[in-house]
Structure 1
């Protein structure tokens, strides 16, 4: 019976599936005399398995000294809220280990004090509260405030993917609609005087409540598309293909095709897709059936704007994106266009070596990089779209329908803007994918990525950039500085110590930051170095002149004045200084090597014996995730468990199922 229950959990099946007529007959044929497990027995076994694996988790974590966590909230279709905590640590070989610590319903208001109390309670129940080093979460006000309600100080790490998403969306006005007047008119900013905090909070809420409706594994990829022809005779100009503007499409798990753990293996050579085909990356979206709060604080206006070079960059971007979305929506949800488009694609594929094997898609506010995916597919479809507008007569449209369609035709200027946006968004898409991985340490990479984007991409003016692209980069640069320095500066300052233990991160730290970090590590972990060094050296060993000099500049006058502590303090200081110097040299050599795999995990695995004390600290600081993607991956599982076919599943059963699936899928 246990195997049957485990199969139900792993596949997200209903408890009575083995008693369905077809499956029951097959099992009787394959295994004569087999008696299917009853749903009541499944329920009982589920509960006992949950307690068993919860106890096993406690035993595992009892042997771990430092644990980082991520947390997030999710609401199902019934608006039932759930809280998830995921734990992260590095094993002896510096391999990243992740597990769901707790998945539970949250039946209270989402106030900071209530969230903080619940998190601490759950961590205390697991006997790991004192082991928690950092909490990675998004930047919603209630998440920021919960740290004030914990009984001990725990560092907050901002979800870097979330910050990069906010940077792009708010810098370029990706989700701002057009003004009431033409773009040729001066925008009356006083009419849209929405504070920066309100605007950011509105978009923050959209990213926090990621809609994950549907089958995350592609087990039920029966997307329900609207078969209605959007070109009815009564359709007005502004309604063409855009009657349900906010009913965006959302994919099953994520725009970028991460592995099941969230990301690709760091250090692997990133090759392009094989062959001469435009492959689908599995990021076609499904309808978002969960109401998000993404409209709070966003400046919106329903009127179109003109494609004019005299307008601001933000207005031109907003106009082109709206036109793309309306055209994609028009094509995707019309039988007339779908059938005609299919013929155009077949004709194109027969005449070209590069085949189009993907579909048009819409972006959504709560999906990182989804705008890039939309524009990428849109650009691939350019010859098809151009051909569609040249052959509108072949579709037997009415005059009004034809005129309405031609209002969505893309000019060369609009296509140029699409290309510039892809060029600007590309580094951010790849950055988010990199720091969303779970098979390698990511917190140390976060600062490296941000500073390389800032210094190498945004601040570097290339000869072929062009005036518009320079303006786009300037807008992004200003917003990136705002988020990483002003608004969430404290959280990004916390990333410096994590970057220190990542060879890539170390390479972008200033000498002042390195010195400050080493000073912080030296004082906060002096007992660690003293204890280890005491087993290797005699307390009577004489201190060198170098030791005395280092103590004097480190301000250790209180230790130097006491002969009892003199030797141990100076020895630990000297030991740390020497090991830190050795680490910087080894990290520099590691980065200059020709090897393809330059991950921090490989570096510390190879050098942990040469850097015995720093390797202990590295294992602690590198365990922290740079994003809250692990929590959101858990919500992908929960969304599938709570799909339409299992709408009556209760909160406890869903929570236990998600917890158990995480444990069963990681068992070997």
Structure 2
């Protein structure tokens, strides 16, 4: 292909050198631009990636002498020290001083994570910390709807005012998904091969669970013990079913191909991805995808026994099948 295109790709060292030159050029331009401002506000974000690598991002917000508004990322880097407030504040101060703007910072907007709160308290006393409104809204939505509830409710009996675990016929989503997750995968092997596969799948599942988990301050202060009402129970039941089906669509190539094929027929380009605590709109995206894929989901449930699925997979689909009440509640849930 390269021969016919008459193109010789650059060497990796050349690409690396060009990237370094670009970095130095844009850093110089940024410093010159920041020299002309009097005040600047910052937003912080600190998180740990799926590979357990910490990152710190600082965005600057300012007006120039012509009242034109600017918002730029002024620092983004991996963070290899302990993510304590002291270490982060020291790194932040060094970077701001190298840019010549430490004395110009008037306010820092960040979430309510303890480490970032500590960072702001250890910087100059004139710098005001503003708690991110989006983070507060995130907590209000997640906690009020009980998205990550552990299914505890208040026991109103006189002898016990503590929370007791709900005894419902619906199996906990954490148990359903974590217990024997390999059963969701397509299996048509011999018993010996299945035994070997189970070992491999369990190790893969551990890695996948780590990869799916992004640790950041957005998931701090999530309430997992929301007092259970009928509405919260209904929400939790719907979420458990959707999360299990989203997991099944990733584990089973048969289910995945069925959904993908029928998506093309109805011309809906949506993906079933599980939600997570640190992405406050991920639950909305999950449920919105299910609404748009309702014809596909109904067809999957109706035709599940015509597919080459194992009995375990069939039982899972039967358990999470939505009834008319569930489908009727979905649009109201999304709007809520």
Alpha-carbon distance in 2 for matches of 1:102, 1:316? 44
Alpha-carbon distance in 2 for matches of 1:245, 1:324? 21
Q: 1:292 aligns with which of 199, 205, 215?
A: 215
Q: 1:315 aligns with which of 208, 233, 246?
A: 233
Unaligned segments of structure 2, at least 5 residues: 166-180, 195-201
Q: Tell me the equivalent position of 2:303.
A: 391
Aligned residues: 301
Q: Tell me the equivalent position of 1:417.
A: 329
Alpha-carbon distance in 2 for matches of 1:245, 1:410? 29
Q: Does 1:334 align with 2:257?
A: no
Q: Tell me the equivalent position of 1:170.
A: 143
Q: Is the 8 A contact 2:49 2:215 kept in 1?
A: no
Say which SS state the counterpart of residue 83 (structure 2) adopts: coil
Alpha-carbon distance in 1 for matches of 2:81, 2:239? 39
Q: Is the 8 A contact 1:115 1:146 kept in 2?
A: yes
Q: Tell me the equivalent position of 1:147.
A: 120
Relative to structure 1, the CA distance from residue 41 to residue 186 in structure 2 (aligned partners, 3 Å threshold; closer, same or farther) is same
Instruction: Give TM-score, length-normalised by structure 1.
Output: 0.39
Alpha-carbon distance in 2 for matches of 1:415, 1:116? 49
Q: 2:276 aligns with which of 364, 372, 381?
A: 364
Deviations for 1:345-375, whole angstroms, at most 9, x for unmatched residues?
Answer: 456x3xxxxx433233322222131111111
Deviation at 1:405, TM superposition (A): 2.0
Q: Is the 8 A contact 1:82 1:106 kept in 2?
A: yes
Q: Is the 8 A contact 1:69 1:87 kept in 2?
A: yes
Say which SS state the counterpart of residue 119 (structure 2) adopts: helix
Q: Tell me the equivalent position of 1:380.
A: 292
Relative to structure 1, the CA distance from residue 336 to residue 89 in structure 2 (aligned partners, 3 Å threshold; closer, same or farther) is same
Q: Tell me the equivalent position of 1:50.
A: 23
Q: Does 1:230 align with 2:185?
A: yes
Alpha-carbon distance in 1 for matches of 2:24, 2:4? 33
Bigger fraction of residues in strand: 2
Q: Tell me the equivalent position of 1:69.
A: 42
Alpha-carbon distance in 2 for matches of 1:60, 1:295? 36
Alpha-carbon distance in 2 for matches of 1:343, 1:103? 41
Unaligned segments of structure 1, at least 5 residues: 1-21, 194-225, 236-242, 249-286, 301-309, 350-354, 425-668
Q: 1:98 aligns with which of 57, 60, 71?
A: 71
Q: Tell me the equivalent position of 1:557.
A: none
Instruction: Give TM-score, length-normalised by structure 2.
Output: 0.73
- 1:174-185 paired onto structure 2 within 5 Å: 174-178=147-151
Relative to structure 1, the CA distance from residue 378 to residue 48 in structure 2 (aligned partners, 3 Å threshold; closer, same or farther) is closer
Which is higher, the Rg of structure 1 or of structure 2?
A: 1
Q: Tell me the equivalent position of 1:190.
A: 162
Q: Tell me the equivalent position of 1:157.
A: 130
Say which SS state the counterpart of residue 320 (structure 2) adopts: coil
Q: Is the 8 A contact 1:392 1:402 kept in 2?
A: yes
Alpha-carbon distance in 1 for matches of 2:324, 2:207? 27
Q: 1:132 aligns with which of 99, 105, 110?
A: 105
Q: 1:325 aligns with which of 234, 240, 243?
A: 243
Q: 2:55 aligns with which of 60, 75, 82?
A: 82
